[in-house]
Amino acid sequence: MSSPESPRIIGSLADLPDSARGAAHLVWWGNLGFMLIEGTGFVLAVGCYLFLSSASAAWPPAGDPLPSLWWSSIFTLALIASEIPNLWVKRRSGEHDAAAVRLGVLAMTAIGLILLFLRACEIAALQPSWHQDAYASVMWMLVILHSSHIVTDWGDTLVQALWLHTHQIGDDQFADVEDNCNYWTFVVVAWLPLYAVIYWLPRFA
Amino acid sequence: MTQKGHLAFLLPLASCAGAQTPLAPAGDQAAGQYSLLLLMLWVCGILYMLVLGFLAMGLWRLRRGAPAGNEPTLETPSDAVLGKTLWIWAAIIVVGLLLLAGASFLLERRLAAAEAREALLVRVSGHQWWWRIAYRDPRNGSWIETANELHLPVGTTARIELGSADVIHSFWVPNVAGKMDVIPGRANAIDVTPRRIGWFRGQCAEFCGLQHAKMAFDVKVETPAQFAGWLALQARPAPAPEDAAALRGMEIVTRGACAMCHSVRGTSARGRPGPDLTHVASRRMIAAGTLAMNRGNLQGWIAQPQALKPGTLMLPVTLEPRDANAVAQYLGQLK
Amino acid sequence: MTATAAGPGDSRAAQLRQTWRDPPGLWGFLTTVDHKRIAARYIVTTLFLLFLAGMLAMDMRLQLSAPGLHRMDPQLYNESFSLHGSTMLFLVSVPVMEAMALWLVPLMLGQRNMAFPRLAAFSYWLYLGGVLMLWLPHAVNITPDLGWFEYPPLSGPAYSPGHRADIWAQMITFTEVAALAASVNVAMTILKLRPPGMTLAKMPLFLWAMLVASLMTIFALPAVMLATSMLIADRLVSTHFFSPSGGGDALLFQHLFWFFGHPEVYIIFVPAVGFVSAIVETFARRPIFGYAAMVLSVLAIGILAFGLWVHHMFAVGLPRLGNDFYTAASMTIALPAGIQIFCWIATIWGGRPRLATPMLWVIGFIITFVIGGLSGVMTASAPLDLQLTDTYFIVAHFHYVLVGGAIFPLLGAFCYWYPKATGRLMSEKLGTLAFALIVGGFNLGFFPMHILGLWGMPRRVYTYPAGMGWGTLNLVATIGSAVAVVGGLVFVANALWSFWYGRRVGADPWGGPTLEWAARSPPPPHNFDLVLCVDSLTPLWKKELTAFDGLALDRREMLVTTVMEAEPIYRQNSVGPSIWPLMSALAVTLLFVGSIFTPWALVWGAVPVAIALTFWFWPTRARASTGPLGRRR
Ligand code: HEA
Ligand code: HEA
Ligand code: CUA
Ligand SMILES: [Cu+2]
């Protein structure tokens, strides 16, 4: 068959909406793609931790202290608590409540700052230093890997807050806020197994 | 299937095979691998012929019958038959795979079973780019060290413990057995059971840096009596120099730079970074299979190691021509 | 769709062309987000590198053509195979497949662009950064020299001082970020931008293949990025991931690398499955036989591929039971692969094939790839692999599968879609000549390597002694490779000649069944005037084609549909040209290159990255009229 005739037009798409939210929205899927990539990274990093721990006679190796629970647990609790405002922002943006969204994103930026501070305290308490041995190296790797996600998401939220306060919010931006909230949830959920592995596994294994 | 029957199939290949090939097995392990290879070649060869035949007939059909029209067909009546054939094809593949996986599994068992027959313990450690070899003396349990030449008694299963001094290497004597990697921080070992007397060649099979290409070694499979004699010789300290030149050579070796890196048992040379030279002249090759052992090569090697094996970790030591001659004279007597 | 439609269609086309056009000149070149332009430069870059790396291979072949040659010293040889292998796998095979997807996927979906146009541009620029990362240092003689996988401790701080290993590791980070960006883009485009009616069950096999390859990329690539980052950390900040003395484990690197490395080879092969399926269907003049079986096979390969990595590590001394498991799993792949081979031949059998050059390449592919697949099955046997691994048998295996299984289909695909991209046919005569030289020369050159491997020749050796008996076959291998390279030059000459003098053709010179053949050749910036509908696997092989209109003409708009059933949901605004993908890529380059020298680059390097990304994603909308920061009226 040679090239086709011009197609017959059977309808118009002009009546379709020009944006969507949740899983209907294109960007939601892009976000999902990157969460899959990073999630795989986390899983593999935990895999490295377990691999090294299973190859070692004592874990932590003789002479290394157990990881300190104090700041890490405060951080973890605060991180979990941040889900409450986060989910609230997500719901508000689903309802296109511009005022609430502006406030909520700003609040999340402030909360992020507090969490970064707590994370800094946690890192300051990490013992021993990463160049001590493989145990320390892999522990630091997990913490740094997760911290980099907090930093990026915090930067993202900050820029978003600035934008939201200076511009009129359209449907697509509400969808963006939702995606940012989803990403934060991902950052929170990803930490829980890491916390368990870094801080509790050496105590039980 | 017998070994002989297969041999005809691979004869043109195997006849050219030298002292470093899995196609001329001289040990239990290599023989098992060789049989498995032949089975594989048969199964895969038949399947390949089936694919080619099917493709050729498909193309042939079109040459005879098909009209040259360009219109696509959407009805495809032959698909029912092809659909059934697909099932048959899938079944053939499954049977083929079961056969091959089963045979591999059995061979793996056989390789593992050799552990029960270990009668000799050898330690081989990989260095950039040569091999340190040590035997446990069956009489007193002490270790007898040599380098770059492995001797094995025929019909005895030897356990070869593999260690690395630096990076990853791989121990491979294809005529006798497959490879085993030599990994720092890991205690690997391989069992070998040679069955044929002769000289074979082994080579490092894992890329280990600049001179990975020249990290070979000789393997001599001999009768247990010959082996015992050889080992007793290796256990002895170095022979005393026979003439004045050699005496001078010994002084240079033991007092000079050489002793930093080399040991000559029975003298004050106790360096560890390089190969043991106590009986270096009893070996067939020097510098990990790079040069044949003779006076000329010894002297050349001492003068210009970097020219003969660029990058080797043996540093050139500047010697007067007369001294170089003396050193070579001495080393040449270290049988 | 075709240029024949007069009247309102013409003004629609003209308006759309205006809307989707790039700015003229250099600025347009730097800012474009047109998937066809991005893909074209991607493809040209990869082919150029294929040529460079091929020349390196010829250099190696000359060195090996006789025993004991001194034309290359060991250092140069080691650099050559490292650069050859790294380039071929990281800078040619994987990116070229993504590039083909960037070019073809929107066209095959009847869409106007990718889901994330700027991400596509970013992916290319970052890939280019990876290319420069490897080849610029090569120009000043800091070439990686430890192969395409650099095992520690050899690549660790103690045995590889200097920056050769860092460059290799960071080149990987570049190309993998680029590949991940491309894969997310391709996968989401295929999932969310399908035309109305193209349910998953009516999706051409090429799209299935690209979807699976993209998902595999998403799950496989993080492993190698982790491995190389850990290697850099060991080298730069004295961590101990891989150093046994500090409690680390050298094998961890190998596990991570091959957890990526094995899927990687199918990430290269699976798109080729898509090419072959498309070509066979068109030239057999019938729908592909066994569509469902083919889809299941591709999915099976995609899933199984993640359970095989240990077959690259049979000689490291893992427990034998584990090895048996990986043997069985590796061999299982032969079932889906064998089914695919069957379905293609059955399609030929049940159709009325035309032997144009793309179809010749398919035949060359089947003949060659199956040999490589079968040698793969042999090496999959753990006890047998102990004899085969790290010999020329393996070199033969992976060239048969890579060249025969991926490059041949790629060259076929190049001939097949060439008229779509350029509006001109390639010469059949030159094409046949190139085909004969490449396929003949390749087989002549690489078949002897199986035998060399069985005669005990290890890989990665810069020379070998005369007494080994390897000289003759190595000479044959060199001659065969030279013939193949001559064929490659004929191929390139044909592509160039046809670009200016080839016979002009219309939209659908081969009578293809899928939507890309409904666009003009070459496609205009917006690809299609209307949103085509699909109700079968071969929509163009029907009497009548239907379509929707109603997408904006004066704005860039695309139709988003549901994932399973491809039902229209909404009209998505599609972004236009932007310089920020390029700026972001430059900023990321600064960060990556800096981090070879100091870990602090991760901190200060993040600032420009953040700025560039902010501009990239900054939505343009009216200023707020309320709030403290809003515009006062
Ligand atoms: C496109 C790339 C590609 C593809 C498709 C494959 C396909 C396969 N590969 Fe290969 N492989 C590589 C690229 C690829 N490989 C590379 C680059 C390396 C080397 C890396 C390095 O060390 O540098 C490698 C190395 C490699 C090894 C490690 C060898 C070693 O280092 O010791 C192994 C071991 O199992 C292996 C196995 C397989 C198998 C079982 C398949 C299967 O998928 C093949 C399946 C296909 C068929 C079997 C043919 C068709 C089927 C039939 C006709 C049905 C009937 C068949 C039977 C019943 C047997 N490959
Ligand atoms: C896709 C991947 C790919 C390709 C195409 C090739 C192509 C070739 N390779 Fe390579 N090779 C590798 C991947 C590849 N290789 C890898 C991964 C390694 C391992 C490296 C390592 O150990 O770390 C390796 C290693 C390797 C070695 C072993 C080195 C060693 O272990 O010491 C040798 C030796 O002969 C070799 C030779 C060749 C030759 C002669 C060609 C070709 O020249 C063959 C002939 C050419 C073609 C069939 C293509 C020609 C087509 C064109 C030029 C068309 C271009 C088209 C346009 C521009 C439109 N290669
Ligand atoms: Cu030692 Cu290669
Ligand atoms: Cu593999």
pLDDT in tens, C49-77: 999 999 999 999 999 999 999 999 999 99
Instruction: Report the amino acid identity of residue B299.
Output: Q
> Which CATH class for the A24-204 domain?
mainly alpha
**Amino acid found at A14:** A
Give percent helix, percent strand, percent coil of chain B, each to the nearest 5: 45, 20, 35
pLDDT score at C602: 86
Mean pLDDT value across residues A182-203: 95
Picking from A162, A153, A152, the residue whose alpha carbon sits closest to that of residue A102 is A162
In single-letter form, the type of residue at position B177 comes to A
Show the DSSP H helices in C250-354 as ranges: 250-284, 291-304, 320-332, 334-350
Q: Answer whether C446's CB lies under 8 Å from C392's CB.
A: no
Which residues in chain B have Cβ-Cβ distances shorter than 8 Å to C371? 48
For residue B256, what pLDDT is reported? 84
Going from the C-alpha of C575 to that of each of C26, C439, C552, C555, C557, the distances in angstroms are 19, 44, 14, 9, 9
Using 50, 70 and 90 to split pLDDT, how confident is the model at B4?
Answer: very low
Residue-wise pLDDT tens digits, C81-94: 999 999 999 999 99
**Do C534 and C446 share a structural domain?**
yes
What gap in Å lies between CA B29 and CA C386, rounded to an integer? 10
Interacting residues of B320 by C-beta distance below 8 A, sequence separation 6+ = none
Verify that C247 and C349 share a domain, yes or no: yes
What's the residue count for chain A?
Answer: 205
Residues A148-168: tens digit of each pLDDT: 999 999 999 999 999 998 888
Determine the pLDDT at residue B3.
43
Helix (H) or strand (E) holding B178, with range, is strand B177-182
Q: C24-33, C55-64, C597-606: which has the minimum mean pLDDT?
A: C597-606
Contact (Cβ atoms closer than 8 angstroms) between residue B20 and residue B203: yes
Are residues C573 and C155 in contact, defined by beta-carbon separation less than 8 angstroms?
Answer: no
* Cα dist from B159 to B117, B184, C340, C387, C559, whole Å: 9, 18, 45, 18, 68
pLDDT digits (tens, 9 = 90+) for C425-460: 999 999 999 999 999 999 999 999 999 999 999 999
Interval between CA C389 and ligand 4 midpoint (Å): 12
Same-domain pairing of C570 and C585: no
Secondary element (H or E) of residue B171: strand B169-173
- DSSP strand E in C129-258: where? none
pLDDT on residue C509: 92
| CATH topology for the B244-332 domain | Immunoglobulin-like (2.60.40)
Domain extent for C191: 3-578
**Ligand 2 cavity residues, CB under 6 Å:** C 47, 50-51, 54, 57, 60-61, 81-82, 84-85, 88-89, 92-93, 147-148, 395, 399, 402-403, 407, 438, 442, 459-460, 481, 484-485, 488, 491-492, 495
Q: Touching check for C535 and chain B: CB below 8 Å?
A: no
> What digits encode the pLDDT tens for the residues C272-321?
999 999 999 999 989 999 999 999 999 999 999 999 999 999 999 998 88
List, as ranges, residues 354-413 from C with C-beta within 8 Å of A.
none
Distance CA C277, CA C269 (A): 13
Q: What is the 3-state secondary structure (H, E, C) of C473-529?
A: HHHHHHHHHHHHHHHHHHHHHHHHHHHHHCCECCCCCCCCCCHHHHCCCCCCCCCCC
- Would residue C627 count as lying in a domain? no
With a pLDDT cut of 90, the percent of chain C lying above it is: 85
ipTM beyond 0.90? yes
Identify the band that residue A1 occupies on the pLDDT scale cut at 50, 70 and 90.
Answer: very low
The neighbour count for residue B332, using CB atoms within 10 Å, is 18
Lookup result for tokens 């049940």: C350
Helix, strand, coil percentages in chain C from 3-state DSSP, rounded to 5: 70, 5, 30
- Cα–Cα distance for residue pair C176/C220, rounded to 1 Å: 10
Asked if C623 contacts C633 with a C-beta cutoff of 8 angstroms, the reply is no
Is it the case that residue A59 has pLDDT exceeding 60?
A: yes
Ligand 3 atom with the smallest distance to the CA of B209 is 2
Instruction: Calculate how far, in angstroms, residue C81's C-alpha sits from the geometric centre of ligand 2.
Output: 9
CB distance C242 to C158 below 8 Å: no
For residue C587, the chain A residues in CB contact (below 8 A) are none
Residue A15 has pLDDT above 50, yes or no: yes
Question: Does position B67 have pLDDT exceeding 60, yes or no?
Answer: no
Question: Nearest-5° angle of CA A86, CA A92, CA A97?
Answer: 140
Residue of A nearest to C177 (CA): A37
> Is the four-CA dihedral A147, A149, A152, A155 of positive or negative sign?
negative
pLDDT-derived band at C627, boundaries 50, 70, 90: low
Judge if the beta carbon of residue B212 lies within 6 A of ligand 3.
yes
Angle between helices A98-124 and A134-166 (to 10 degrees): 160
DSSP C405: I
pTM for the whole thing?
Answer: 0.95
Measure CB to CB from residue C223 to each of A44, A61, A141 and give the nearest one.
A44
What is the distance in A from the centroid of ligand 4 to the CA of C402? 12
Secondary structure, 3-state, C304-331: HHHHCHHHHCHHHCCCHHHHHHHHHHHH
Percent of chain B with pLDDT over 90: 78
- The nearest CA of chain A is from the CA of C612 a distance in Å of 12
Q: Which of B255, B274, B252 is nearest to B263 (CA)?
A: B274
Q: What is the pLDDT of residue A4?
A: 45
Type of residue found at B182: V
The mean pLDDT of C392-397, rounded to a whole number, is 97
- Say yes or no: C477 and C593 in one domain: no
- Count of CB atoms situated within 10 Å of the CB of A46: 20
Burial class from Cβ neighbours inside 10 Å (0-12, 13-18, 19+) for residue C271 reads buried
Looking at this protein, which amino acid is placed at residue C515? Answer: L
- Same domain for C466 and C594? no
In 3-state terms, what secondary structure has residue B25? coil
Per-residue pLDDT at C633: 44
How confident is the model at residue B16, as a pLDDT? 46
Domain membership flag for residue C264: yes
What is the pLDDT, as a whole number, of residue C4? 42
Residue nearest to atom 35 of ligand 2 (CA): C61
Structurally, at CATH architecture level, domain B118-235 sits in Sandwich (2.60)
C394 contacts C378 by C-beta, under 8 angstroms: no
- Chains A, B: CB contacts within 8 A come to 3
Return the CA Rg of chain C: 25
Domain identity same for C485 and C531: yes
Question: For residue C540, what is the DSSP state?
Answer: G
Every domain of chain B and the residues it spans: 28-114, 118-235, 244-332
Contacts of B54 in chain C (CB under 8 A): 342, 345, 349
- Inside any domain, residue C250: yes
What is the distance in A from the centroid of ligand 2 to the CA of C84? 7
Q: Angle B273-B279-B281 (CA atoms, 0-180°, nearest 5)?
A: 105
Asked, for residue C555, whether it belongs to a domain, the answer is yes
> What's the rounded Cα separation, in Å, for the pair C599 and C154?
22
Residues with CB under 6 A from ligand 1: B 44, 47, 51, 93, 96-97; C 265, 268-269, 311-312, 330, 333-334, 337-338, 341, 370, 373-374, 376-377, 379-380, 385, 388-389, 394, 397-398, 401-402, 405-406
What pLDDT does B6 receive? 45
Which chain C residue has its CA at the smallest distance from B60's CA? C349
Instruction: Please check the confidence at residue B199 and state whether its pLDDT lies above 80.
Output: yes
Residue B308: name the closest of B320, B321, B299, B318 by CA: B299
Gap from C379 CA to chain B (nearest CA, Å):
10
Question: B181 has which bridge partners?
Answer: B170
User: With 90 as the cut, is the pLDDT of residue B78 above it?
Assistant: no
Q: How far is CA C187 from CA C102, C195, C610, in A?
A: 11, 15, 26
Q: How many CB pairs under 8 A join A and C?
A: 223
Distance CA C19, CA C29 (A): 17
Enumerate neighbours of C (3 or more CB pairs within 8 A).
A, B
Confidence band (pLDDT; 50, 70, 90) for C260?
very high
Q: Within 13 Å and on the Cβ side, how many CA atoms surround C378?
A: 30
Residue B62 has pLDDT above 80, yes or no: no
Q: What average pLDDT does the structure give for chain A?
A: 92
Per-residue pLDDT for C595 more than 90? no
Please count the structural domains in chain C.
Answer: 2
Query: Is the pLDDT score of C126 beyond 80?
Result: yes
Cis peptide before C383 (omega within 30 of 0): no
Q: What is the mean pLDDT of residues B58-64?
A: 74
pLDDT at C599 over 90: no
Instruction: State pLDDT tens for residues C319-370.
Output: 888 899 999 999 999 999 999 999 999 999 888 888 899 999 999 999 999 9
pLDDT tens per residue, range B219-249: 999 999 999 999 999 999 999 999 999 999 9
Indicate which ligand has the atom closest to the C-alpha of B45.
Answer: 1
pLDDT of C176: 93
Which residues crowd ion ligand 4, with CB under 5 Å? C 262
